[in-house]
Structure 1
Amino acid sequence: MFCLLLSVMRRIICSLATQLVALIVVIINWYQWDKEVEGYIEHKAVLCEFMSSALHEAPASYDDIKGKYVFGRTTRPQFFSMLHRYNVIQAYTQKKEFVWIGISARPWFIGFAVLQFGYVSVFCIQLYNTVTRESWKAKTTVPLFGWLFGGKWVSNVHGSVGPTAEGHSVDFSAPFTGQSAKIRFVGGGLEFDVSGTVKKVEGLPSRKPTLAARYELSGSAQLPKEFLGLVFPLGPRRAAVVHKFSAVPLSRPLSVGIGEGVWHGMGHISMDYTRGLLRRDTRWCWCTATAPEGYGFHLSAGTYDIGGKSMENSFYANGKVALLNTAVGFRKVFEKMVKAEEENIDISSGDTLRWAVTGDGIDLQFACVDSHNGTVHCGVVDGNLNHSWGIFNGTITVNGIVYEFSDVPGALEQHNMRW
């Protein structure tokens, strides 16, 4: 009897061990499938394809018939933001989706973002009044169940997503948070409605959130004829799909309500819309601003670079976009109260931080007002992200024309993550 019981137990253990090994093999294969290839853009054939005109007329970033991405860069994107068929593990751990909207409407500079990473979803917003120097902000994080309760990329009736997909929307609504955001891509443009609770940041630069108030925000704009569309190769079956624009006039007055006060006025809108199975380890700096005269920029370093020059660098004026063929440097310049060698400065501690942003024809200075800080140290996900808003001063020269930025509000982000 004992021998029989022992035999049965051995069979059960062997069966469980076999299933466990099979599960491990499947998970490893899932992770290896569509793997990232370091320096993939530097392969001659890949670089030639990226520099070709294939993306200009492509209906989608991924060609389902050929089973491959349409790598490239264009200033008149028509393509939908389509990814290849990925598995559940990839959807929960590797796929990243985020959209950032910035509105410059004197005296307001407003930015909000919806991020969906599967294992976590985040919504954040900031409202900064450049006249009263009041800053309001909020951030909501949905861990583990972000795919279920956080940001949602809702396809249109044809199953398409992306800024050019008529009827597509990006939504955020999490239980018990009070925060709600909806971005709809309709009528050749976009509409947004955002509401929730923000806290006023008192005593700058000590930056202590105190007074809470309800807010409501709504507006709309038409997509420009020219803006940046990018499908950047990270591997044979892996890509970052990006749409960006800046300095686009609002098509109706922006409505800003905080507490009992309501403000209406015209201004400009900017956007960064990105999807893809992004890199596991990422380090980048990025900044953007729109002057009241109606011109603006997106500048970055460390993202989607070729020869040290980011393929995202672009300048926007009069409804047109100019691609900037320059490397951009981001250098921290601290006040005397902070040692210059301190690279892990915590802006929320009250330290004053400035940046010098430079490149061929680019000479900008950025003074931080406040920021969203995201620091994560939990093994498989590790790093920090600092999204600041503040004031730009300086110039950018494009095609011989000098564009001035004098006390222009904007955003600057430093990102260092394993995610």
Structure 2
Amino acid sequence: MTPAPDHVVIDGTPAHGRYAGRIARIDWAPLRPRPGWLWRRLHHKRWHYVGLGNEAVFIGVAIVDVGWAASAFAYLFDRQTRTLRANWSQDGLPGLQASNGDAPLAGADAWFRGPGARLSLREAGGRLQLQVATRALRVDAELDLAAMAPPLLAVGPIAGGLAHATQKTSALPVRGRAEASGQRFALDGAWAAVDASSGLLARDTAWRWASAHGPEWGFNLQQGYFGEHENVLWLDGQPIELGAAHFGFDAGRPLEPWRVRTECGRLDLSFTPEGVRAADKNFGFAVSRYVQPVGTFAGTVRANAHAAPRNVKDLLGVTEDHRSLW
């Protein structure tokens, strides 16, 4: 993969492509012609998502700005009891109660403040500080950016919108702790992945997604509004482009096994769910429906079509089936 450019817009045009490496900011202001203020307000969507876990727990945290509204969620899934010990979410007003800065990693500053809730993801000294303080869940964790594999930067066109960009990491070492339902969980030894995304998207947006990361390998797959732009495998510390992804699952029974594979033949995995977080919001003018099972992947990955397969087993991660009318 080629090195990441300095900007997502070059000479007024989106720098479409898949790249390896960090970008300082995801800034659409240099687009020419630049969409009008109202269109940008309705179509500009930004979020920071962190998924982290170890043998005991999986934690998912997101701060989302959809232009005319904001939201956040945080959950803790207990892998030993296979229960959601915490499942919190809240809506708010962008700028007043939530913000997602343009910096995806270095300089990241995302936060949400609502009744009884304080969430933030901020970078300082090469580390991302993740803090969650709600009635249901408390998290105080540090994600180390120093030794991470080159992250993915993907930039691509959007049907019904304009363009989208995402910066995604593979496994980041974690230190910290969490508390839910009166029980404390040590997060030292956990691995985390960050998804920092910003796009001028269509009002009706749907996707299927899979993400799992560990010290040996990790991957990110998406089927839907962004095509194959963000499909990548990290192997031996290097990101490798993957082809179009296919998801085999029963939408009515998301706790049944899934199969995820790519047309290039470099990834073929089964996914065994341990539990699921789901949400179904319908405000009439806006809809968000999704399921996000937590579980483990097993199967094979390859560095290229002719390389010997490498066996994957018990790789912790998530899948997702999501549709938003926003």
TM, length-normalised to structure 2: 0.85
Aligned with 1:195 (options 130, 133, 150): 133
Give distance in 2, aligned partners of 1:248 and 1:225: 9
Specify whether residues 277 and 196 from structure 1 end up closer, same or farther in structure 2 by C-alpha distance, changes over 3 A only: same
Q: CA deviation at 1:264?
A: 4.5
Give distance in 2, aligned partners of 1:279 and 1:138: 28
Give distance in 1, aligned partners of 2:118 and 2:35: 29
- Quick check: 1:61 aligned with 2:24? no
- Quick check: 1:332 aligned with 2:260? no
Q: CA deviation at 1:269?
A: 1.4
**Which ranges of structure 2 fall in alignment gaps of 5 or more residues?**
none
Q: Which residue of the partner structure matches residue 179 of structure 2?
A: 257
- Quick check: 1:172 aligned with 2:112? yes
More helix by share: 1
Q: Which residue of the partner structure matches residue 405 of structure 1?
A: 312
Give distance in 2, aligned partners of 1:403 and 1:356: 17
Secondary structure of 1:118's match? Answer: coil
Secondary structure of 1:81's match? Answer: coil
**Alpha carbons 1:331, 1:356 under 8 Å: kept:** yes
Q: How does 1:359-370 map to 2 (within 5 A)?
A: 359=262, 360-370=265-275
**Alpha carbons 2:4, 2:19 under 8 Å: kept:** no
The one-letter code of the counterpart of 2:64 is L
TM, length-normalised to structure 1: 0.67
Q: CA deviation at 1:411?
A: 0.9
Q: Deviations over 1:240-286 (max 9, x none)?
A: 01101212333xx2322332535252232111111011122222111
**Which ranges of structure 1 fall in alignment gaps of 5 or more residues?**
1-50, 155-160, 199-213, 334-342
Q: How does 1:95-244 map to 2 (within 5 A)?
A: 95-142=44-91, 145-154=92-101, 161-164=102-105, 166-174=106-114, 176=115, 178-198=116-136, 214-222=137-145, 224=148, 226-234=150-158, 238-244=162-168
Give distance in 1, aligned partners of 2:225 and 2:124: 29
Q: CA deviation at 1:138?
A: 2.0
Q: CA deviation at 1:110?
A: 1.7
Q: Which has the larger radius of gyration?
A: 1
Q: Which residue of the partner structure matches residue 281 of structure 1?
A: 204
Instruction: Quote the RMSD (CA, aligned, Å).
Output: 2.8
Aligned with 1:316 (options 229, 234, 247): 234
Q: Which residue of the partner structure matches residue 418 of structure 1?
A: 325
Give distance in 1, aligned partners of 2:16 and 2:195: 19
**Alpha carbons 1:179, 1:195 under 8 Å: kept:** yes
Q: Figure out how many residues of one structure are paired with residues of the other and give that number.
A: 316
Q: CA deviation at 1:412?
A: 0.8
**Alpha carbons 1:254, 1:267 under 8 Å: kept:** no
Give distance in 1, aligned partners of 2:229 and 2:143: 28
